[in-house]
Structure 1
Amino acid sequence: MAETGLPEGWEVRHSNSKNLPYYFNSSTKESRWEAPAGTDIDKLKMYMAQYHSAAQIGRDGVGSGAGKIRASHLLIKHRDSRRPSSWREPEITRPKEEAIATLLGHEARIRSGQVSLGDLAVSESDCSSARKRGDLGYFGRGEMQKEFEDAAFALKPGEVSHVVETASGVHLIERLE
Structure 2
Amino acid sequence: MAQQEPQPKKVKLVDFSAASAFYGSRKGYVFKTGDQGLGYYLDNVDKAKERVLEGLEGPGLFARAPCVDVEAPETVKAPVPAPAEEPPKKKKRFDPFADLPPPKKKAAPAPKQPTPEPEEKAPVKVFTSGLFKLEQVHCLHIVRKHKDARNPTSWRHPGRRIDRTRQDATDELEKMRTKLLAAPTHRRRSLFQELAKKFSECGSAKKGGDLGMFRRGKMSAAFELAAFNLDVHELSKTVASSSGVHLIYRVA
**What interval of TM-score do these two structures reach, taking the shorter chain for normalisation?**
0.5 to 0.7
The reply on whether 1:168 has 2:236 as its aligned counterpart is no
Question: Hey, what's the Cα distance between the residues in 2 that align with 1:68 and 1:155?
Answer: 12
Tell me the C-alpha RMSD between the 2 structures: 1.4
Residue by residue over 1:126-147, the C-alpha shift from the partner in whole angstroms, topping out at 9 and shown as x without a partner, is 1110001000011111110000
- Return structure 1 stretches of 4+ with deviation > 2 angstroms: none
TM-score (norm 2): 0.43
Q: Residue in 1 aligned with 2:205?
A: 130
Highest CA radius of gyration, 1 or 2?
2
Q: Residue in 1 aligned with 2:100?
A: none
Question: Hey, what's the Cα distance between the residues in 2 that align with 1:110 and 1:76?
Answer: 16
- Per-residue deviation, 1:87: 1.5
Q: Residue in 1 aligned with 2:182?
A: 112
Q: Residue in 2 aligned with 1:144?
A: 219
The reply on whether 1:84 has 2:152 as its aligned counterpart is yes
- Per-residue deviation, 1:88: 2.2
Q: Which runs of 5+ in 1 are unaligned?
A: 1-65
Q: Which runs of 5+ in 2 are unaligned?
A: 1-133
Q: Residue in 1 aligned with 2:140?
A: 72
Question: Hey, what's the Cα distance between the residues in 2 that align with 1:173 and 1:93?
Answer: 23
Report how many aligned residue pairs link the two structures. Answer: 112
Residue by residue over 1:82-141, the C-alpha shift from the partner in whole angstroms, topping out at 9 and shown as x without a partner, is 100011233210010100010101111111118621110001001110001000011111
Question: Hey, what's the Cα distance between the residues in 1 that align with 2:183 and 2:155?
Answer: 27
Paired-residue identity, %: 39
- Per-residue deviation, 1:67: 1.1
User: 1:171 corresponds to which letter in structure 2?
Assistant: H
User: 2:170 corresponds to which letter in structure 1?
Assistant: I
Give the structure, 1 or 2, with the largest relative contact order (CA under 8 Å, sep 6 or more): 1
Question: Hey, what's the Cα distance between the residues in 1 that align with 2:180 and 2:156?
Answer: 21
